[in-house]
Amino acid sequence: MTRTAERFHEDPGLQPERTVLSWGRTMLALCTAAAIFLRWLPTHGPFVLTLFGVATCTAIGIYSTQRSRYRRGSAGISNEHVTPDAVAVVVTSTAVLALGVLGLITVVVF
């Protein structure tokens, strides 16, 4: 069995897989938002690059922590004690709130 096909728990399709898919959808939504922000550049000016940077950095952060998040969830299932990743949720929520505020500033001020 290769390393990529290695199974970390005995029940496929449980929470770690769904969680990874959920974070993947969040990352895709942030990449889509970043692309839309780039379309605002000619209309609203260079301040839009701040929006693009926040969305892109958040998406990269989600991508870079996916493997450890999956392993932690799988280990939690094996140990029958799964702890939530509150830090990731708070950081992502803060980034989305910042994007909303920055988006409003962009539209109203610039």
Q: Which residues contact 103 (CB under 8 A, 6 or more apart)?
A: 37, 51
pLDDT of residue 93 exceeding 60, the answer is yes
Q: Report how far residue 18's alpha carbon sits from residue 24's, in angstroms, rounded to the nearest whole number.
A: 10
Q: At what angle do helices 86-109 and 15-39 cross, to 10 degrees?
A: 20
Q: What angle do CA 20, 8, 85 make, to 5 degrees?
A: 40
Judge contact between 58 and 92, C-beta under 8 A.
yes
13-29 pLDDT, tens digit each: 567 778 888 889 999 99
**pTM recorded for the entire structure:** 0.76
Chain-centroid distance, C-alpha 104:
21
pLDDT of residue 25: 93
40-90 pLDDT, tens digit each: 999 988 999 999 999 999 999 999 988 888 888 888 777 778 788 889 889
Using left for φ > 0, alpha for ψ between -120 and 50, and beta otherwise, residue 31 falls in: alpha
pLDDT of residue 21: 86
